[in-house]
């Protein structure tokens, strides 16, 4: 059997073809953890140890896919989010760490919510994490993508929570199906289509366009439609939470204020970018 160091080196060389050296090393360690079941400590403390068991076919697959910029979470088939494991693959967005901060904000402010809706649920990251954090809340999740609906359903079951996962169109009349909600939360597509060219290959070539992009001349299309629906579907005093595009924070505040939403508050993420907004129905 090869040593950990040998496999780590192979992964670093593969990843370095498409990532900068620091990121290549991080991804390589992550890959070897998944391949061998050893934790990072083990890899760092005694890298010259022989690996007890590893599938060399899988080693080759990881090497090839890393060098092709396939996201590590797709290669492994899993992503961690809010301390939970989510199955992911082509057709569903890899949940991002920024979004964990949105989940924590909702959980902090809405411990007694009875009914919560997550719009554009993808892997189910937000809905499933909130169902876990708020065990007395009834959670519903909608998405327009069949692939996403499948993943979200599986991820709710695998994490042992009840989430009603249903098909719905955020740009359509989704609100007619709901009333007296306490919370609506959404991380909708918000990346301007023109940013596509400058995104890393691992996002651009692999993650679903449907989950990411909006037209440059209408960055708020999802937010307007969701806010207008939420104005009907929420109870008075109910809260609306969004993850937002950092460049659209001012436009968002203005749009929500014009529509009469109360208690509008922006928050920054760990990168110090305006990333979340909350408001309440009067
Ligand atoms: N909530 C997940 C998360 O935070 O990781 C996924 C967010 S992803 C940025 C946006 C999601 O919105 C995708 O799952 C996509 O399929 C979904 N979506 C795109 N257009 C939609 C529409 N018209 N109606 C409902 N969902 C839509
Ligand atoms: N933050 C994600 C990215 O930059 C996009 C998430 C979204 O569109 N809501 O890839």
Of the candidates 68, 101, 122, which is a domain's last residue? 68
126 lines ligand 1 (CB under 6 A): yes
| 39 in a structural domain | yes
Segments of the chain with pLDDT less than 50: none
**Å from CA of 204 to ligand 1 middle:** 16
Residue (of 122, 260, 237) closest to 184 by Cα position = 237
Residues 219 and 276 in one domain: yes
List the 181-186 sheet strands across, edge first. 163-167, 138-143, 115-119, 181-186, 234-243, 274-280, 262-268
State residue 137's pLDDT score.
98
Residues 138 and 99 in one domain: yes
State residue 275's pLDDT score.
98
Residues 137 and 200 in one domain: yes
Query: Which residue range is the domain that position 87 belongs to?
Result: 78-280
CATH of the domain at 232: 3.40.50.150
Which uninterrupted H or E stretch holds 10?
helix 4-15
Residues 129 and 232 in one domain: yes
Q: How many domains does the chain divide into?
A: 2
Nearest residue (CA) to ligand 2, atom 7: 189
Ligand nearest to the CA of 211: 1
Sequence-distant (6+) residues with CB within 8 A of 119 are 142, 168, 170, 174, 184, 185, 186, 188, 226
Q: Residue 169, CB half-sphere, CA atoms under 13 Å: how many? A: 3
State residue 183's pLDDT score.
98
187 lines ligand 2 (CB under 6 A): yes
State residue 83's pLDDT score.
98
State residue 34's pLDDT score.
97
Q: Note the pTM of the prediction, 2 decimals.
A: 0.97
Ligand nearest to the CA of 202: 2
203 lines ligand 2 (CB under 6 A): yes
Residue (of 261, 223, 115, 97) closest to 127 by Cα position = 115
Q: pLDDT tens, 215-267? A: 999 999 999 999 999 999 999 999 999 999 999 999 999 999 999 999 999 99
229 lines ligand 1 (CB under 6 A): no
State residue 71's pLDDT score.
98
């Amino acid at each position: 059997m090869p040593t950990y160091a040998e496999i780590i080196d192979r992964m670093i060389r593969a990843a370095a073809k498409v990532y900068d050296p620091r990121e290549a090393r991080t991804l390589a360690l992550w890959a070897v953890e998944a391949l061998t079941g050893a934790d990072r400590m083990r890899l760092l403390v005694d890298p010259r140890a022989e690996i007890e068991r590893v599938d060399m076919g899988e080693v080759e697959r990881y090497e090839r896919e890393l060098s092709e910029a396939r996201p590590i979470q797709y290669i492994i088939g899993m992503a961690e989010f809010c301390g939970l494991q989510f199955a992911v693959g082509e057709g569903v967005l890899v949940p991002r760490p920024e979004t964990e901060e949105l989940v924590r904000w909702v959980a902090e402010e809405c411990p007694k919510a009875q009914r919560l809706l997550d719009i554009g649920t993808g892997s189910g990251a937000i809905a499933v994490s909130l169902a876990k954090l708020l065990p007395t809340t009834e959670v519903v999740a909608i998405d327009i993508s069949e692939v996403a609906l499948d993943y979200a359903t599986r991820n709710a079951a695998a994490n042992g929570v009840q989430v009603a996962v249903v098909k719905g169109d955020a740009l359509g009349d989704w609100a007619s199906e709901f009333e007296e909600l306490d919370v609506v939360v959404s991380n909708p597509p918000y990346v301007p289509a023109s940013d596509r060219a400058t995104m890393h290959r691992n996002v651009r070539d692999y993650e679903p366009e449907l989950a990411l992009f909006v037209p440059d001349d209408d960055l708020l299309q999802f937010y307007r439609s969701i806010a207008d629906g939420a104005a009907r579907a929420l109870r008075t005093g109910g809260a609306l939470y969004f993850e937002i595009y950092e460049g659209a924070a001012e436009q968002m505040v203005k749009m929500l204020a014009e529509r009469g939403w109360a208690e509008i508050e922006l928050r920054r993420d760990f990168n110090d970018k305006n990333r979340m907004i909350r408001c309440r129905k009067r």
